[in-house]
Structure 1
Amino acid sequence: MGQLLLNNVQKFYGDFEVLKGIHLEVKNGEFVVFVGPSGCGKSTLLRMIAGLDATTAGDIVIDRLRVNDLPPVKRGIAMVFQSYALYPHMSVFENIAFPLRVEKMEEAKLKAKVEHVARILHLDQRLQQRPGMLSGGQRQRVAIGRAIVREPKIFLFDEPLSNLDAALRADMRIELAKLHRQLKATMIYVTHDQIEAMTMADRIVVLNAGEIAQTGAPLELYHKPANIFVASFIGNPKMNFLPVTCTSVSDAGVEVAYEGQKAVIPVTPRQGAVGKALTLGVRPEHIQIGSGDIALTVVPTVIERLGAQTVAYASLDGEGENFCATLPGSAGVRPDQPIVAGINVADCHLFDQTGISFERHVELTDIDMNLLDPTAAA
């Protein structure tokens, strides 16, 4: 088993509150990713679960056992660090075998376990080499192998791919996803890279300033962000935001005005919204060239041609590139040449003055609903 419960977990450094009453339950076999900007507390939270940092308040419970006062070795966890933390003078075999030697495991059993793990990670031809002879991706697999061989209840990963180049990161994402399916183990993974979070997680925990901003499956956070912070953090390039005013509400949604144009956004209305300044959000991939329910003329300042896609950045206020459109690769856009950007209301998000989102009327297929909670179908 590998169940984890965090109950009102807090962390102070002096008078500074790093984590502000974290409540979270991780199911056995889940792949949960902590994501957020630098300084949000995600690595601190992981280290507290591991027992490397003490909690100021609250309970950390693993398989119904409160572990706050237990050392790391007694918690049934294994941690993979960003820096690999391999012993350079030891072979791959000895690096993987190290925790078993600490436990004084019988040699024949130790050898069998290390060779089994090496086969899983495609390291069986590298067992006699030292870390300095390996690529970055191979060294990371050795570090993962040293964690696997302990057969922990929970695997903890602290930004394990950040030292790798882009191609290796993509390969290792695939390897980690395959490994999770093979081991069926509970994994908690910290990253600042929301692409890693979206592609690997069963569930994402978005942290902001020491608090959980939202928890949910990747597609849930994409389609139904709870607030502006999550909406801007999940998605690449990030969501566009336009200032609008609520002119009326009805069963169909909330009517907003933007630069003389009016459109009804299909969201659940709220009392007292009429006359209020709101924020309209639309993702760059939902922008189209030409007319839409809302249209605005923008002048691209930077064009990125990526082959299948063209990304155009523009300024709405002349003070920086604060508008982005992801267009087909064949789009004939040019820097400093105006284009009409069309927005359809079905693709829009709406946020109140405090940044909280209005509930969207999103129609999802049965497949979408299963993807919103991958653990439900397990």
Structure 2
Amino acid sequence: METRRISNTKFLISKYEEFTIWETENKRVYDDFNEICNLFEEFLVSNILTDKHYCEEVFDRIILVMENCNDLHFDNEFESVAYSLMHLLNRYHRAQLISRLLVREGLLPVREKSSDILEVGIGPGNMSLGVSDCYRSLKQFGEDKRIEKFINLDFSLDYIEFSCAFRKWLHHFNEHIYGKRNEHTRIPYHLGSFNDVYKVDFQSLKLKYQQDLIEKYMEEYGCSKGDAQKIVDEEVGGWKDAYRYNLVIFSNFITISEQVSRLDHQLDSICRALRNGGSILIVGGIGDNYIDIYKELIKKIQKIPYMKVDFNSAEDDPLCSFSYNDIYGNRIDKFYQNLIAHLDSLDLDSNSYLEFRKEITKLSDAKKTWKVIVFRKQLNKRFVD
């Protein structure tokens, strides 16, 4: 009798409870979080916040970053450092929870081939870092439980980021992480492939890659264009599989309604670049100003062939919030207290720094909540690519 192959989605869902128990017993989520806290603190203290004047420039931007992110272009390193200082840790933990949500819903790519992941507007890297660490945990879970599909997991990460300051930040922060971790993250060490999302056209890039390969073979083999094209088109993978993705992430990137209309062509291009079964992950705020954004996104993306909403988070989803009163919030508080002790040793006393210290004291009563929407591409094929 022929054995029916279980889909990757159903397989992942079937392992979620066991994976969660294993992670809890081994303190994987907290240990990863604590490690990133230590690495981030070490990086700031040893490499970034070492000079009083530099620190003053950073803290002059802190309140601006907290209250007016939509108005900033992060075109200088002081803004990117200020943003990272305020958001990297809490949003890394958010990424940890969202990654487990994707496992729970069977939406994290776990195909036999390597999965390709693209983040649009990566910022300081918190989301991609959290996804990367979730894959690492799944792989180790597979090794412990002898689950072949997880043991053989592989993926690659790429990103689109317009800010040169954030690209520089990612390069140096990843360099620091690589030197300290047994396994490095998959965030590109030598910068992501794309700068401006509004100028990206994956279909044009694929065709250009095809023509470049044809010209290469014509020159190398001295053959005709037709023969070169035949060689290129018959290659397994090759240009046909270039610029294709299993997961595309928008995390706090689409924050105003005007962006949705501006992204009209790019959303279409991204959806076409998704492999069958691939997903677009949208992560953002829950305020009233986001309601219209999500409505417009859903309306626009569902008009694109083969795309549908696969997941739309409920307000009480436990993987869509965390409190600063829990162990993760306490660890963030410890990070800030250690950082303040370092900054005090530099005799930092500017008004903006003192305002930062006041803001930090308010975190103990805070709760972070977010919205998650996942769009999935599903062609009329039984199994995903």
Q: Shorter-chain-normalised TM-score: which range?
A: under 0.3
TM-score, with structure 1 as normaliser:
0.27
Identify the structure with bigger relative contact order (alpha carbons < 8 Å, sequence gap 6+).
2
Tell me which protein shows more strand as a share of its residues: 1
Tell me which protein shows more helix as a share of its residues: 2
